[in-house]
Amino acid sequence: MPPFIKESINDIIDDDIPDLEPVIDPTLDKQLQPSKEKYSIKIVWRNVILMSALHIAAIYGAYLCFVSAKWQTNLAAFVLYQMGGLGITAGCHRLWAHKAYKARLPLRILLAMFQTIAFQNHIYEWSRDHRVHHKYSETDADPHNSRRGFFFAHVGWLLVRKHPDVIRKGRQIGMDDLMRDPVVRVQRKYYLPLVLFFCFIMPTYVPYLFWNESLYNGFYICALLRYAWTLNMTWLVNSAAHFWGRHPYDKEIMPAENYFTVYGALGEGFHNYHHTFPWDYAASELGWRFNVSTMFINAMHAIGLAYDLKQVSPEMIMKRKQRTGDVPLKGNYGLYHPSTTKIDELKSE
């Protein structure tokens, strides 16, 4: 979830959503009711200008990669993309938003630093928006509702004011678990200076200090190009992975298994699986295969920094494929295959 650039001082802290959500009558949220407030699209021109400028600068940065940058600078941009990506995938997404595993303090600090490099809003806001996305996927309360089109799901949602349902339902999402984490609280409190340093200053100066690259190249390649690339790889999970690919676990939902996104977003493209089993730390039936984020979590588990890794049993995966997936129509998928007899029975129904 990339940054939503605030328009006024009243929007500086999380769109007026309080630090700790009020107690909500559970009967109010049994099902999503359409907002009675009339909604009309309001373009945030500041965001349009800034996002356009960023992408123009990123294209220029890509040009500099081939004409004037040192190879170490291009490599550094790739490493920073991997670091920022892991801050989103292994950190914000699987650790903080879904609680799919637990992490000891040193790992939480490292992931918070990586997540700040990515500059996609602080952990609290990113996780809150993502929980809303899962609970109200493909409705007006979904921040990047893919039913509003590919462009909206990819970047358009950042260029307009939020739908009232996004804000209304966001207030009802429990977030007190994150506010008990001092890492989340500190990062949220000092987010602006932290993101200025980790996303822009540090990537610009590291090439200059360590291999005498120009500050010009460091800024355009390691800061702006790397930042724009990371944003778009994250956006593809919201867009491409909701439009193209198989639905082996649940054919009734839009999220799909999209392999381009698997590689670009460090393992997050197994999206039909993830929306079916959001608590699985691997976010995939395939475990570590093609999944840099899962490899990273496994490595942290091996040295004792990650623990209580949650996984879905093979039996549950096979039953879900048989019951709601596209396996009866398109054939087996993944590691765990339902019996051929059962598939034939489902085809004949």
Cα–Cα distances (Å) from 280 to 11, 121, 284, in that order, read 34, 24, 7
213 is a domain residue: yes
Counted domains in the chain: 1
Q: Which residue has the higher pLDDT, 184 or 40?
A: 184
pLDDT single digits (tens) 257-306: 999 999 999 999 999 999 999 999 999 998 888 899 999 999 999 999 99
Domain assignment of residue 72, yes or no: yes
Alpha carbon of 101 to those of 23, 96, 183, 254, 313: distances in Å?
26, 9, 16, 26, 16
Tell me if residue 103 falls in helix, strand or coil.
strand
Give the number of residues written for the chain: 349
Looking at residue 102, the DSSP 8-state letter turns out to be E
Helix (H) or strand (E) holding 320: helix 314-324
Note the pLDDT tens digit of each residue in 96-107. Answer: 999 999 999 999
Residue range(s) defining the domain that contains residue 230: 41-238
Please check the confidence at residue 32 and state whether its pLDDT lies above 70: no
On whether residue 343 sits in a domain, the answer given is no
Within a domain: 219: yes
Q: What is the pTM of this model?
A: 0.86
Phi then psi dihedrals of residue 246, to 5 deg: -80, 165
Angle between helix axes 71-86 and 202-211 (nearest 10 degrees) is 140
d(Cα 89, Cα 158) in Å, to the nearest integer?
Answer: 20
The DSSP element (H or E) to which 307 belongs, if any, is strand 306-307
Q: What is the pLDDT of residues 2-21, one digit of tens each?
A: 454 444 323 333 332 333 33
136, 149 Cβ separation under 8 angstroms: no
Does residue 187 fall inside a structural domain? yes
Q: Which two tokens stand for residue 247?
A: 């639905």
Q: How far apart are CA 49 and CA 146, in angstroms?
A: 23
Q: Is residue 35 part of a domain?
A: no
In a domain, 205, yes or no: yes
Closest C-alpha among 76, 41, 53 to residue 212: 76
End-to-end CA distance of the chain: 41
CA 84 to chain centre: 11
- In-domain check, residue 80: yes
